[in-house]
Amino acid sequence: MIAGLQRFFDEIRRAGVRVSPAECVEAVRAVEQVGLEDRERFRQALRATLVKRAMQRKSFDEVFDRFFVGPARGRGRKRGQPGAGAADGARTSTRSVGVGPPRATLATTPTSPPERPSREGAKRKSTEHVESERLERNLREVREGRRQRWGRLRHVSVSRIESDARPELDHRVKPALSDLRRPASAEQERELARAVRRLVERIRLRTGRRMRRTRTGRPFLRRVFRDSLRSGGVPFRLPHRRPRLRTPRVVLLVDVSWSTARAAGLFLEMAGEFLRLGRQTRVILFVDRPVDATEKIALWLGRGRDRSFRELLGSIEGLSLEAPSDYGRVFHSLLVSPRRPRGRRTVFLVLGDGRTNLFDPLDWALEEIAEGCGASLWLVPEPFASWGRGDSALPLYLPRVDAVVEAGDLNGLASGVAALIRRL
């Protein structure tokens, strides 16, 4: 809890509220007294100890709302609609506070969907957060073609921005599977895995980009003479090479910290399917450092998933699930690694929420990796409303990749796969 609050103190200092170490201690003591169950009381305890002037209240409330997202916050989707659910509230708040069971009660518990926020409330909240607005504006401009690109970013698939972006999966995915943060039964998990398999199957059936561009392939000059000699050059025919199917290499970089655990499980299913299909796939897992888990996952799949996903993660050497996520370090390690993802045929795929725990994001390292690859794609398993809030460094990372997809649910994932296909 203290680590989570410490991040909040840093945040509030950045907002211009001067908070001394003694006041931080008082705030922690106050929170211990009131607990985390009641969000408003939690806010009052922090405010009474950290705010010392009336003029600071607004800044405090803004930072608090951004950092500890409440249960009523959402994107205004209907309940049961794909993408609605526990959503950003539980994610940001629980992660920010960073303690055990009580934190779940601070915001929405995963089993109880949040109340639908009022349109006015949602509108007011959105105007409060300039950074979030800026991020949204940039993404919207890229998507609508008003801007060619934002940094490298050319393709955006975010449900809040494009409500029509949901492909044909809507009618066949059950609502229970729609939100990757909701707990699911074993049967639901299996169903989800089957859905992922279908998605990956689409990738397998997809022809390569080079094939799509030209139906006939490149001109086959050597045959021009041979064919011309045969007919004397009349009529002249230009033969073409038969196009070869080029197999892209896919490097998946997957955040498996507990905050993205379920989404990570789903993505590993996807990675597994890639491996099964014989694609040149590397799976790199990370929390605070990257670990190449390709062989382990292939073995696990080969044995018919003989143990749970979490057990598998626990057995991977060098992977510390308890560590705080450190994206900057991961990108830098990859960049300087001899097995750095590179090559025109390489698709670099990142799955993660971009929450750096306030470590240095080192976004330039991501940019260098992305520049060395044919395509780079970021799938965010977090609702759009949470992007860039709290310790999220997504506004720094997203301009460095080619495409970004909100993949908080299976439909989002389908969009992600579609975007991936376009780049294969």
Partner 1 sequence: MGPRESISPETIASAFLERGFVCTGEVATTLYLAERLGKPLLLEGPPGVGKTEIGKLWAEFHRARLIRLQCYEGLDESKALYEWAYGKQMLYTQLLREKTGELLAGAGDLDEAIRRLGGQADAFFSREFLLERPLLAAIASDDPVVLLVDEIDRADEEFEAFLLEVLSDYQVSIPELGTIRAKRPPRVILTSNDSRDLADALRRRCLYLHIDYPGFEDELRIIENRVAGISKTLAETLVKFSQSLRKTDLRKQPGIAEVVDWALALVVVGAESLSRETLRRTLGALLKNREDLDRVMSELSRFRS
Q: Which residues bind partner 1 (CB under 8 A)?
A: 18, 20, 22-23, 26, 29-30, 33-34, 40-41, 44-45, 47-49, 51-54, 57
Buried b (16+ CB within 10 A) or exposed e, 229-247: eeeeeeeeeebeeebeeee
Helix (H, G, I), strand (E, B), or coil: what is residue 387?
Answer: coil
Residue 276's nearest CA partner among 302, 255, 241 is: 302
From the CB of 114, what's the least distance to partner 1, in Å? 21
From the CB of 34, what's the least distance to partner 1, in Å? 6
Tokens standing for 233? 């050059």
Q: For partner 1, which is the closer residue by CB, 24 or 177?
A: 24
From the CB of 30, what's the least distance to partner 1, in Å? 5
From the CB of 48, what's the least distance to partner 1, in Å? 5
From the CB of 52, what's the least distance to partner 1, in Å? 4
Q: For partner 1, which is the closer residue by CB, 56 or 92?
A: 56
From the CB of 22, what's the least distance to partner 1, in Å? 7
Contact call for residues 259 and 95 (beta carbons, < 8 A): yes
In 248-314, at which residue ranges do the beta strands (DSSP E only) sit?
Answer: 249-255, 280-286, 290-292
From the CB of 64, what's the least distance to partner 1, in Å? 13
Segment (H or E) for 403: strand 403-406
Q: For partner 1, which is the closer residue by CB, 57 or 124?
A: 57
Q: For partner 1, which is the closer residue by CB, 30 or 366?
A: 30
Q: For partner 1, which is the closer residue by CB, 33 or 185?
A: 33
Q: For partner 1, which is the closer residue by CB, 47 or 241?
A: 47
How far is residue 159's CA from residue 374's CA, in Å, rounded to a whole number?
A: 26
From the CB of 24, what's the least distance to partner 1, in Å? 12
Q: For partner 1, which is the closer residue by CB, 52 or 226?
A: 52
How far is residue 290's CA from residue 267's CA, in Å, rounded to a whole number?
A: 16
Helical ranges in 277-422 per DSSP H = 294-302, 309-315, 327-336, 363-371, 394-397, 410-422
Q: For partner 1, which is the closer residue by CB, 3 or 25?
A: 25
Helix (H, G, I), strand (E, B), or coil: what is residue 377?
Answer: strand
From the CB of 54, what's the least distance to partner 1, in Å? 4
How far is residue 194's CA from residue 172's CA, in Å, rounded to a whole number?
A: 12
Q: For partner 1, which is the closer residue by CB, 26 or 62?
A: 26
Buried b (16+ CB within 10 A) or exposed e, 26-49: bbbebbeebebeebeebbebbbeb
Q: For partner 1, which is the closer residue by CB, 30 or 347?
A: 30
- Burial class (CB within 10 angstroms; exposed 0-12, middle 13-18, buried 19+) of 94: buried
End-to-end CA distance of the chain: 44
If you count DSSP H runs as helices and E runs as strands, how many of each does the chain have, helices first? 19, 7
From the CB of 107, what's the least distance to partner 1, in Å? 18
Instruction: Name residue 251's beta-bridge partners.
Output: 282, 348
